[in-house]
């Protein structure tokens, strides 16, 4: 089964917890704090594996979790950090954030890696908190939570040229003639239901990768037919090879077919029309094809290169392949994401995200949310009084106490952080 789009959930490993410990050895007075730090968790890393061709494996495993860092130990021993969780993907995989739509990585080369979710650092042990005024602290941090994301994986085939056109115009037949690919060929529409790749070699020893995409029909960009599922695969191609049935045996007008397919490509992605396009006038061995070809050339004009061809008799193959190879050499790659080519450094003011927000719930309780306060909360060990006091000081430093008073909080009111509840004390 060919799978080219999946949604998965990734969770990087949390950091290990720091611990509270003291040096207690015979004949060693005033040993002092000796709690070690926790280790860093495991990152979630995607790596390109050229042997893969689809995203099939992700149909059966949709959740990936990094290992948690080891907790700190006594005698100031740090916990072990974890190796990254490396996930293999096929060349041509684009990784997007499912919530924002931002492209996180575009993986095309064998061995290329990208860190998709970063692990949390380890919490500090009590040896880190010793000061002249508090030489024996009973404070230790929990590990920082690792990043958690829902991501979309899209596979876009790495092909130099792509065959497009209506169903049954001869795309699969052409691919089977010019390469060793063996696509399914039959005399009914939508015989090809998955993209096919073939390596083509010209008579002058040049080679390129050609993709046969399932037939497009009118409305494909809106989800009609099969072609809309595979339009993404043409985004990486440098040259579009537009195959047209010039015989008109099915009652369609070749020029109308040409306009319809180009409208679908433009509606899907405007940048597709920037790519050079070669038109293949196929099935020239059939009756009326010559007459239709002359009319077609008059309608499209001299700016559109047209190559008469008969896949059945193999006439015109050599000239077409040479033209495709020439056009590929002259055409640069098209980046999937817009790149800023301005090398100047522009300093702008960006408002810092608020460390917290406060909302009053229907039951009268005050809910506190925000990345910074939630991170501090997760890293606090509430089993130790000193850690709780430190958390209370951090809340005051962030201005949460004053903000609660401004919102009308009184002694004894309930305050929520995540799923935990506290009592507001004046």
| Binding-site annotation, residues for GTP | 165-172, 190-194, 212-215, 282-285, 310-312
* Whole-angstrom distance, CA of residue 426 vs CA of residue 415: 13
Strand residue runs (E) in 19-160: 44-48, 63-65, 85-89, 93-97, 103-107, 113-117, 148-155
* CA distances in angstroms from 51 to 15, 47, 153, 291, listed in the order given: 33, 12, 17, 47
Contact assessment for residue 297 and residue 255, using Cβ atoms and an 8 Å cutoff:
no
Given a contact cutoff of 8 angstroms between Cβ atoms, the answer to whether 227 and 216 are in contact is yes
Instruction: Give the residue numbers of the binding site.
Output: 165-172, 190-194, 212-215, 282-285, 310-312
H-state helical runs in 156-235: 171-178
**118-143 burial string, b = 16+ CB within 10 Å, else e?**
bbbbbbbbbbbbbeeeeeebbbbbbb
DSSP lists the bridge partners of residue 219 as none
Q: Which residue has the tokens 């037919």?
A: 225
User: Which burial class, exposed, middle or buried, applies to 21 when counting CB atoms under 10 A from its CB (0-12, 13-18, 19+)?
Assistant: buried
Please answer whether residues 295 and 301 qualify as being in contact, where contact means their C-beta atoms are separated by less than 8 angstroms. no
What letters, b where the CB count within 10 A reaches 16 and e where it falls short, cover 370-384?
beebbebbbbbbeeb
Can you tell me which residue has the tokens 């230790």?
140
| Residue 155 bridge partners (DSSP) | 93
Phi, psi of 254, deg, nearest 5: -55, -40
Bridging pattern class, strands 93-97 and 148-155:
antiparallel
Going by the annotation, the residues of the binding site for Mg(2+) are 172, 192
Report how many helices (DSSP H) and strands (DSSP E) the chain contains, helices first. 7, 18
Q: How far apart are the first and last CA of the chain?
A: 64
């Amino acid at each position: 089964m060919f799978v080219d789009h999946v949604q998965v959930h990734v969770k990087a490993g949390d950091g290990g917890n720091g611990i509270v410990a003291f040096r207690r050895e015979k004949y060693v007075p005033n040993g002092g704090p000796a709690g070690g730090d926790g280790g860093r968790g495991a990152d979630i890393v995607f790596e390109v594996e050229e042997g893969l061709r689809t995203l099939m494996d992700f149909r059966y495993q949709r959740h990936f979790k990094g290992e948690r860092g080891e907790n700190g130990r006594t005698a100031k021993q740090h916990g072990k950090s974890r190796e990254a969780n490396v996930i293999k993907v096929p060349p041509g995989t684009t990784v997007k954030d499912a919530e924002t739509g931002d492209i996180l990585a575009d993986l095309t080369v064998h061995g290329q890696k990208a860190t998709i979710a970063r692990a949390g650092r380890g919490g500090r042990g009590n040896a880190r908190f010793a000061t002249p005024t508090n030489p024996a602290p009973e404070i230790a941090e929990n590990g920082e939570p690792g990043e958690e994301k829902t991501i979309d994986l899209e596979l876009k085939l790495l092909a130099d040229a792509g065959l497009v056109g209506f169903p049954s115009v001869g795309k699969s037949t052409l691919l089977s003639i010019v390469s060793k690919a063996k696509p399914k060929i039959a005399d009914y529409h939508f015989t090809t239901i998955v993209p096919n790749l073939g390596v083509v070699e010209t008579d002058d020893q040049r080679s390129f990768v050609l993709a046969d995409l399932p037939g497009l029909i009118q409305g494909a960009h809106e989800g009609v037919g099969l072609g809309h599922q595979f339009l993404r695969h043409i985004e990486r191609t440098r040259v579009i090879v537009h195959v047209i049935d010039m015989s008109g045996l099915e009652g369609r007008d070749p020029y109308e077919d040409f306009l319809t397919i180009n409208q679908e490509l433009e509606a899907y992605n405007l940048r597709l029309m920037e790519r050079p396009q070669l038109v293949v006038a196929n099935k020239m061995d059939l009756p009326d094809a010559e007459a239709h070809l002359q009319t077609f050339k008059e309608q499209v004009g001299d700016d559109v290169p047209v190559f008469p061809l008969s896949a059945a008799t193999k006439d015109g193959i050599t000239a077409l392949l040479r033209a495709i190879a020439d056009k590929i050499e002259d055409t640069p790659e098209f980046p999937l994401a817009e790149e800023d080519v301005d090398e100047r450094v522009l300093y702008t003011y960006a408002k810092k995200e608020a460390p917290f927000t406060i909302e009053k719930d229907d039951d009268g309780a005050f809910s506190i949310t925000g990345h910074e306060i939630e991170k501090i909360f997760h890293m606090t060990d509430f089993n130790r009084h000193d850690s709780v006091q430190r958390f209370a000081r951090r809340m005051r430093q962030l201005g949460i106490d004053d903000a609660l008073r401004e919102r009308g909080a009184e002694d004894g009111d309930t305050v929520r952080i995540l799923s935990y509840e506290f009592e507001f004390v004046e």
